[in-house]
């Protein structure tokens, strides 16, 4: 990322779109049943599907915590 004069002078203006508590996110899941938060304004990447529509980050994190209880990929979990 190239700094503009505004962000160079004010590093707090830089925002990681994946860790912005004020942003809205989707919860997405892949074929291995791995969950992720995805910025709501971005297109969902190929191979992922939305399981929770746009919501505050805290709600998305709570969803992931309650639904993704086994961190192993589905292919590993199902072969055990």
Residue with tokens 């399981």: 51
Range of the domain at 52: 5-79
Confirm if 64 and 27 have CB atoms less than 8 A apart.
yes
Strand residue runs (E) in the chain? 24-30, 35-39, 48-56
Q: How far apart are the C-alpha atoms of 58 and 62, rounded to whole Å?
A: 6
pLDDT at 17: 81
CATH of the domain at 49: 3.90.820.10
- Written as tens digits, the pLDDT of the chain (80 aa) is 455 555 556 655 567 888 888 999 999 999 999 999 999 999 999 999 999 999 999 999 999 999 999 999 999 998 87
Distance of CA 4 to the CA centre of its chain: 26
pLDDT at 1: 47
Quote the number of domains for the chain: 1
The pTM of this model reads 0.78
């Amino acid at each position: 990322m190239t700094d503009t004069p505004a962000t160079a002078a004010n590093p707090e203006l830089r925002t990681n779109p994946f860790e912005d508590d004020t942003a809205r996110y989707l919860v997405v899941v892949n074929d291995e049943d791995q969950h992720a938060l995805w910025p709501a304004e971005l297109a969902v990447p190929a191979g992922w599907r939305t399981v929770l529509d746009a919501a505050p980050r805290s709600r998305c994190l709570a969803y992931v915590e309650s639904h993704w209880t086994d961190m192993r990929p589905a292919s590993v979990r199902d072969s055990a």
